[in-house]
Amino acid sequence: TNKIIIAIDGFSSCGKSTLAKQLAAKLGYAFIDSGAMYRAITLYFIRNNVSLQDHSQILDALSNIHLSFVFNEKSQQSDIYLNDEDVAHLIREMTVAEKVSEVAAIREVRSFAVAQQKRMGKKKGIVMDGRDIGTVVFPDAELKIFMTADPEVRVKRRFQELYVTNPHITLDEVRHNLEMRDYIDSNREESPLRRAEDAVLLDNSTLTREEQLAKVLDWVKERA
């Protein structure tokens, strides 16, 4: 069978990365979490006090950022490196989550990330998840999936994830952050989150992980 590109988009915490990881493992494809790139850029901006209003500061900062993905045998996934530093854990912190949608709305930031994402898809055999993968990064992807899930299911899921490293986190805090990011991501001028016309809809609220994977593997078979 031919290698294809699988683009997965949707709101925050709909289970996109979990599905993408399962698919990549099953198919022997690369998995790229595009959100991790926006998070790593945000971490750099926070550390270096980059003003989001100052375009020359932003361009200057971007010219000093090198992002790469390195496969981690233990976790069986690619960890993101920011200028040779493993930031996989740091980018999950709330301080980054609070700023990332604002940073990701900046035109220069998006063209920086999208150029690199497009290069990663050159050889196909890739699963990428994000907000604009089916619409902007890979408009010709053979399989596009738009994921949704019940909002409360999403809040509880993200809460459980964050609670492991931050026992002070509250459900309200997580709910507020998801609502804010979804609002900014859907309403920004540059590449807003939308379902591509040819994307298949996948509701993740009720299916088990196994049921969901089986369903998507059928879609892959029809296209590869």
Binding-site residue positions for ATP: 10-18
CB 44 within 8 A of CB 37: no
Q: Which residue number, 131 or 144, has a Cβ lying nearer to ligand C5P?
A: 131
Candidates 47-55, 127-135, 139-147, 162-170; binding stretch for ligand C5P (CB under 6 A): 127-135
* 52-to-48, 139, 166, 205 alpha-carbon distances in Å: 11, 29, 28, 36
Q: Among 20, 29, 39, 212, indicate the residue that binds ligand C5P (CB under 6 A).
A: 39
Alpha helices in the chain (DSSP H): 16-27, 34-47, 55-63, 94-104, 107-120, 151-163, 171-187, 209-223
Using CB under 6 A as the criterion, what x/- string covers residues 148-187 for binding ligand C5P? ---------------------------------x---x--
By the rule CB under 6 A, 216 interacts with ligand C5P: no
* 139-to-70, 119, 167, 178, 198 alpha-carbon distances in Å: 26, 14, 40, 26, 10
- Give Rg (Cα) of the chain: 17
Q: Which residue number, 156 or 224, has a Cβ lying nearer to ligand C5P?
A: 156
With CA atoms as reference, report the closest residue to 35 among 137, 125, 121, 124.
137
Smallest separation (angstroms) from ligand C5P to the CB of 141: 13
By the rule CB under 6 A, 131 interacts with ligand C5P: yes
Smallest separation (angstroms) from ligand C5P to the CB of 46: 14
Smallest separation (angstroms) from ligand C5P to the CB of 55: 18
CA dist 13 and 77 (Å) reads 18
Q: Can you give the binding site for ligand C5P, defined by CB under 6 A?
A: 12, 34-35, 38-39, 100-101, 104, 130-133, 181, 185
